[in-house]
Amino acid sequence: MVKANILKLKERISYICSKINQDPSSITIVAVSKGRAPSQIEEALVAGITDIGENKVQEAIAKYNDMRYAICDMPIRWHMVGHLQTNKVKDAVRIFDLIQSVDSIRLAQEIDKQAAKINKIQDILIEVKTSGEATKFGLDPRAAVDAIKEIIKLKNVNLKGLMTIAPLADNPEMSRPYFRMLRKLRDGVNAISDKRYAISELSMGMTDDFEVAIEEGATMLRIGRAIFE
Ligand SMILES: *Cc1c(COP(=O)(O)O)cnc(C)c1O
């Protein structure tokens, strides 16, 4: 079932890409596997998924230890997509290839410190709270540019781009303004002439709104239910 789901998902991605003249292979599918069994994740890997997203460090470590050798020769890229507490950073930098949910300068500084201890340059995305919802994590869009200027100075952190989560809605079109805001923010950062600020990734779009996200320039989709249910 996971395999069929992935085939269908890829067809939908290709269809949208063909409409906007984009190469579907330029979009990374991150299979968000929180709460799913390792056997389901294995099915996804066999079906060609290379990127796995988790939202809790403890759960991710258990799966990482379990899966590391599950499919030999198949490197898995692990993504942290949930809120990261400072006291979990040490464990997080050990296993994650990309921490997508950096929502404060303080967290970025802690990542820098822990990554330096293990001689790692940690790839990160900054999570932006495009919706302004009080219940969500993420940097205020107005504060994001200044935060980026601080974070870019950190030696053991490599800022790759931005991430956002649109508010829950019945209609995927409702997500469009939030995705568009994220793209404009990235383009604004890239317009700063200092090339150190160049960022490319836009992680946006989930099961219910990934098609709109692609239209708005997503480079990474975080998909749970459309793959595992
Ligand atoms: C669970 C989760 C997803 C995937 O959501 P679906 O709607 O199941 O595709 C994406 N991003 C984050 C941050 C999540 O926690």
141 lines ligand 1 (CB under 6 A): no
pLDDT at 74: 73
Angle at which helices 141-151 and 105-117 pack, to 10 degrees? 30
pLDDT band at 73 (very low <50, low <70, confident <90, very high): low
90 neighbors 99 (Cβ within 8 angstroms) = no
pLDDT in tens, 171-227: 999 999 999 999 999 999 998 867 777 899 999 999 999 999 999 999 999 999 999
CB of 225 within 6 A of ligand 1: the answer is: yes
Secondary structure (H, E, C), 203-224? ECCCCCCHHHHHHCCCCEEEEC
- pTM for the complete prediction? 0.97
- CA of 62 from ligand 1 middle (Å) equals 19
Atom of ligand 1 nearest to the CA of 100: 13
Average pLDDT over residues 59-84: 85
Query: What is the per-residue pLDDT for 43?
Result: 93
pLDDT at residue 38 above 90? no
Question: How remote is the CA of residue 222 from the centroid of ligand 1, in Å?
Answer: 6
131-182 pLDDT, tens digit each: 988 888 999 999 999 999 999 999 999 999 999 999 999 999 999 999 999 9
Mean pLDDT over 76-88 rounds to 97
Average pLDDT rounded to a whole number, residues 99-108: 98
CA–CA gap between residue 177 and residue 131 (Å, rounded): 9
Give 103's pLDDT tier (boundaries 50, 70, 90).
Answer: very high
Judge if the beta carbon of residue 205 lies within 6 A of ligand 1: no
78 - beta bridge partners? Answer: 52
Mean confidence (pLDDT) of the chain: 94
Q: Which residues contact 55 (CB under 8 A, 6 or more apart)?
A: 32, 34, 80, 81, 82, 83
